[in-house]
């Protein structure tokens, strides 16, 4: 056995062990959830940003009244965004843990875009009113809920695609397959590293603050000038 093969085995054997530990263990749900979120994101890639009402807000600050065609386009764009959020929500709902506590947190994640979807629908309905009414009542989007952040943290999913599964994932045309392959591979690697404890090690390391010892400070200080 050559040294190169021996080194390769030292790398592959721990990874295989991590994979076996994740199956059926406490890390099983987290790994499956992270992979599921990556799959959901990959199924909802966009080639251009969706409509969320920014154009309407910009027009409301101006003096010119938009044409009926512009308002119709805005309404259709808002509906597309509502449909996108609904499709993601449905895909997330297909996955659920067996543990009641984990399921409660997961349902909070699933419902993470409900307030935003309702706000977009309200904007769409408002566009049916007179333009002066639209200008007076068009409100900003709701702020993200802390409940989702807390649920993700409780499930250990704060650094996975579940964190931004509802955010628009805009990619360059023709790069969809490449993006899917890369994100899937990265999620698989992240799951293995998390099962091996790398995430916990990173959290601990981030709290460290390095300070040189007195000996180090003395050795790195400039030499004193000799005096006669």
> 36-82: per-residue pLDDT in tens?
999 999 999 999 988 778 889 888 888 889 999 999 999 999 999 99
154-187 per-position pLDDT tens digit: 999 998 999 999 999 999 999 999 999 999 999 9
Q: What are phi and psi of 170, to 5 degrees?
A: -95, 130
Please give the structure tokens belonging to residue 185.
């591979």
Q: What is the pLDDT of residues 182-192, one digit of tens each?
A: 999 999 999 99
User: Within 10 Å of residue 191's Cβ, how many Cβ atoms?
Assistant: 22
* Helix axes 176-195 and 27-43, enclosed angle (nearest 10): 170
Burial class (CB in 10 A: 0-12, 13-18, 19+), 32: middle
């Amino acid at each position: 056995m050559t040294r190169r093969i021996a080194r390769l085995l030292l790398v592959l054997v721990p990874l295989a062990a991590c994979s076996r530990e994740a199956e059926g263990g406490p890390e099983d749900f987290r790994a499956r959830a992270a992979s599921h979120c990556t799959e959901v994101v990959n199924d909802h890639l966009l080639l251009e940003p969706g409509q969320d009402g920014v154009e309407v807000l910009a027009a409301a600050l101006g003096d010119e009244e938009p044409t009926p065609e512009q308002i119709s386009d805005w309404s259709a764009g808002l509906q597309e965004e509502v449909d996108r959020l609904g499709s993601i929500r449905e895909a997330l709902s297909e996955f659920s843990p067996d543990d009641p506590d984990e399921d409660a947190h997961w349902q909070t994640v699933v419902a993470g875009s409900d307030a935003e979807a309702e706000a977009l629908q309200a904007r769409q309905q408002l566009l049916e009113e007179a333009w002066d009414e639209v200008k007076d009542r068009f409100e900003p989007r709701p702020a993200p809920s802390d409940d989702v952040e807390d649920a993700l943290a409780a499930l250990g999913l704060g650094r996975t695609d579940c964190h931004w599964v509802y955010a628009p994932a805009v990619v360059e045309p023709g790069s969809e397959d490449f993006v899917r392959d890369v994100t899937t591979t990265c999620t698989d690697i992240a799951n293995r590293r998390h099962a091996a404890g790398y995430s916990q090690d990173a959290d601990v390391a981030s709290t460290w603050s390095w300070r040189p010892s007195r000996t180090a400070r003395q050795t790195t200080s400039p030499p004193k000038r000799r005096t006669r």
